[in-house]
Structures are given as structure tokens and as C-alpha cells.
Amino acid sequence: MLERYGHGGDLRTAQELFGLPADQFHDFSANMNPYGPPACVAEVLRTYTDSIDRYPDPSVRELRRKLGIHHDLDPSCVLVGNGAAELIDLAVRVYRPEVTAVTGPSFVEYADAARKCGSPIHVLPLYPENDFRLTADTIRRALLDFRRRGIQPGQALWFLGSPNNPTGQLVEPAIIRELLLEGERVIVDEAFMDFVPDAANYSLLREAEVNERLTVIRSMTKFYAIPGIRLGYAAGSPQTIAELGRLQVPWSVNSLSQQIGSAVLDEKQYAENTLTWLKQERPWLESQLSALGLRVYPGEVNYILFSIPAEFNLTSKELQHEMGVRGVLIRDASGFDGLDETFCRIAVRFREEHLRLLDVMKNVLADPSRP
Ligand SMILES: Cc1ncc(COP(=O)(O)O)c(C=O)c1O
């Protein structure tokens, strides 16, 4: 049976759908650092066999210590998980909210995790007219609605992506602080925050340490290009972290992940190179996509949301298919709540790959044989 081609980077399903070997695709559907894993990862793999006959440290002490130094957090305020995905799931299970507020669009796992716990979803609409920014007005409206329905402060869970996937928009910290002052519980997914040059102005990691109602989730899989390793972490008050930890499966973070996580945090040059590359390449790719006639939405992260204007008479699904059979994978973003069948998302990669992407896209957009 063909798997649902939903999340990006599913090369196995792409192979079945588009009929090319998995290693022949140019993959723009997953938002991964194109530099690939830092060099230290290969070194860890070479020596790893020496520790494979022992259980991993169940409390992930060394990696938590290093994350504490990296972000200036107390290690008791950090929980490491099997990818940010595990922490998203844990966070919802801890709170068992009466209702979960998510933006439309946003990463589908927030709503999926909430539904698994039986929590209804309240969608906070975002609009293309203001580049999908979350506004204080939208929040106020939702708060009024909750109070009218008898949902008290602390009974709802606000699950916000900053930067948001697939829009790339950051949430203004002032908006989140306002919610916290109202007594609301907030989880901020900062899975892509490492890609943001002025992350210090937007990240709430340090505030989570001292605010019982705030939890921040980070992923290490995107920035360090190690999605197969599964590594993420949450920051919160010591009590919140202890509660999340109690629900976690023992040894959920294996020893290889722990060693790789500790090693990549020392790769300062890799991190610097990544930010330099993104600063050059994202604006270039944005301008080229606009020149093809596509509507590009602004952002700073390593992926770009765009829509296909009506005159092309082409849906995002059709564009994805036409590009897929030509060996280029893009993300059809029409499955995200609040986006219609004209939206696509692509990862920012290296110039040579962009030239290939643009060449194929130009051909598909200009193809006279399309209905
Ligand atoms: C916004 C966002 N958060 C979290 C995740 C999950 O990351 P991880 O690979 O660390 O589980 C993803 C993966 O695509 C994502 O896009």
C-alpha cells in the first residue's frame, strides 16, 4: 500500500509515487540544513561500537549539561527527547487541555497530538494579507471566546510555532508574554529558531525556566541535519520538566543520539557557516521565485512558502507531481489548515541545487501541454 505523502523528506514514498530511485531526487520537501551532519558525527559513529553494549544514561546528563551551557539554562530545566516530536506529544499529554489553540496553518503534529488526548482544537486563523503573522487581535478574540464558553485561564493550551511551519513567521514575544500574564498555558515550538540570526530577540527559552506556564521545545534535527537520529529538547521550570519526564518512556534517547547531540553543540564554525549561507541564499531564491511569477511570503528561516497565482492554472498538488516525476521534490502545502490548493513550501539549499529547481519549475510552469 502506498503511504500517505504527507511530511517532507519521505523519499521512500516519493520513490513509489514518482518512479525514480530514492537517491536520484533533489529533495526540497524537508527543511534540512544542506551542509549535512557536522564532521563530528562521523567521528562519533566510528567510536560508538565501544558503548553499544551498555544502556544509555536515562537522565541524559552530559547532553543536558551542555545544553545548559549553550543556552545559559540550569540542566534541571531541560528535558531531552526522541526528537521534538516526542516532546510535542508529551507536552499535550501532561496538560490534558480542555481545548488546544493552534494557528492555521501550523505544523500538523500539534493538533494531532491534542486530538490523540481527546482535546478539541481551536484554530487561530492567519491570513496571507498580513503574511500569516499572528496578531494580538486574533489572540484577544480567542480569549473572549474561551471565557464565553467557560474555559478558565490554565485550562486551554496554546501551541504556537515560532518560527511557524510552513509560513516561516516568528511570533512576537510580546504576544506570548501577554497570554502568560492572562494566566494561559503556552507551548512554543522553536524547532527552527537556530536558523534565525537574531534568535535572542525572539526565543523564549530562558523565560521558560522561570515561568511555570511556559514550555519551549527545540529540535536538533533540522539545524544539524540529523533527522534520522531523533533529537530535541524542552525547556521549562524544574517542576514542568519533572512532570514531562515522568511520562517519558525510559531510555527514550539512545546513547548514540546523546553522544551526537553533545558533539554537535561544539561545532561553532558549522553554525556560523549555516547562518552565513542562509543570509545569502534565501533572498536570492526568493527573488528568483518571484521572477517566475510566484507569490513569495517573507521569512528568515531555511524554507519558503509561496503560492501559485491563478493565471498559471496549476494546483500545488499538480506542481508537486510534475516536479516529482522530473526528480525534484517540493512540499504541497495545501494540506495545512488555512492554506488552499495553491500553496507550496520548499527548503532553501545550495545555489547549484536551486538552479536545477528553478529550471524544472520554469519548464513545468510554461508547459503548454498542461490542461
Ligand atoms: C515545526 C516543527 N516542529 C517539530 C518538528 C519535529 O522535529 P523532530 O525531527 O526533532 O522530531 C518538525 C519536523 O518537521 C517541525 O517542522
Measure 191 CA to ligand 1 centroid, in angstroms. 6
* Closest atom, ligand 1, to C-alpha of 163: 1
Measure 192 CA to ligand 1 centroid, in angstroms. 8
Compute the distance between CA of residue 78 and CA of residue 65 in angstroms, rounded to an integer.
9
Compute the distance between CA of residue 27 and CA of residue 14 in angstroms, rounded to an integer.
10
What is the pLDDT at residue 8?
67
Asked whether 167 and 195 are in contact (CB, 8 A), the reply is no
Asked whether 306 and 294 are in contact (CB, 8 A), the reply is yes
81: phi then psi, degrees, rounded to nearest 5 = -130, 170
Quick check: CB of 191 below 6 Å from ligand 1? Answer: yes
pLDDT at 92 over 70: yes
Asked whether 179 and 148 are in contact (CB, 8 A), the reply is no
What is the pLDDT at residue 14?
80
Quick check: CB of 81 below 6 Å from ligand 1? Answer: no
Asked whether 353 and 302 are in contact (CB, 8 A), the reply is no
Bridging pattern class, strands 232-235 and 303-307: unpaired
Task: Quick: pLDDT tens for 231-283.
Answer: 999 999 999 999 999 999 999 999 999 999 999 999 999 999 999 999 999 99
Quick check: CB of 107 below 6 Å from ligand 1? Answer: yes
Quick check: CB of 82 below 6 Å from ligand 1? Answer: no
Quick check: CB of 219 below 6 Å from ligand 1? Answer: yes
Measure 86 CA to ligand 1 centroid, in angstroms. 10
Measure 19 CA to ligand 1 centroid, in angstroms. 27
Residue located nearest, by CA, to atom 7 of ligand 1: 84
Quick check: CB of 105 below 6 Å from ligand 1? Answer: no
* Closest atom, ligand 1, to C-alpha of 232: 10
Mean pLDDT value of segment 154-172:
97
Mean pLDDT value of segment 159-165:
98
- Beta bridge mates, 328: 26
Domains for the chain: give ranges and CATH numbers: 11-30+269-366 (3.90.1150.10), 40-264 (3.40.640.10)
Residues 6+ apart with CB under 8 A from 181: none
Measure 186 CA to ligand 1 centroid, in angstroms. 18
Quick check: CB of 257 below 6 Å from ligand 1? Answer: no
Asked whether 119 and 146 are in contact (CB, 8 A), the reply is no
Q: HSE-up of 9 (CA within 13 Å, CB side)?
A: 12
Burial (Cβ within 10 Å: 0-12, 13-18, ≥19) of residue 117? middle
- Binning pLDDT at 50, 70 and 90, where does residue 24 land? confident
Mean pLDDT value of segment 324-353:
96
Quick check: CB of 83 below 6 Å from ligand 1? Answer: yes
* Closest atom, ligand 1, to C-alpha of 222: 9
Measure 323 CA to ligand 1 centroid, in angstroms. 24
Compute the distance between CA of residue 13 and CA of residue 16 in angstroms, rounded to an integer.
5
pLDDT at 3 over 50: no
CA distances for 237 relative to 67, 308, 358, angstroms: 15, 44, 46
Q: Report the residue among 7, 107, 229, 346 best suited for mutation to probe ligand 1: largest number of ligand atoms under 8 A from its CB.
A: 107
Sign of the torsion angle spanned by Cα atoms 39, 43, 49, 51: negative
Place of cell 516525476: 325
CA Rg value for the chain:
21
pLDDT at 2 over 80: no
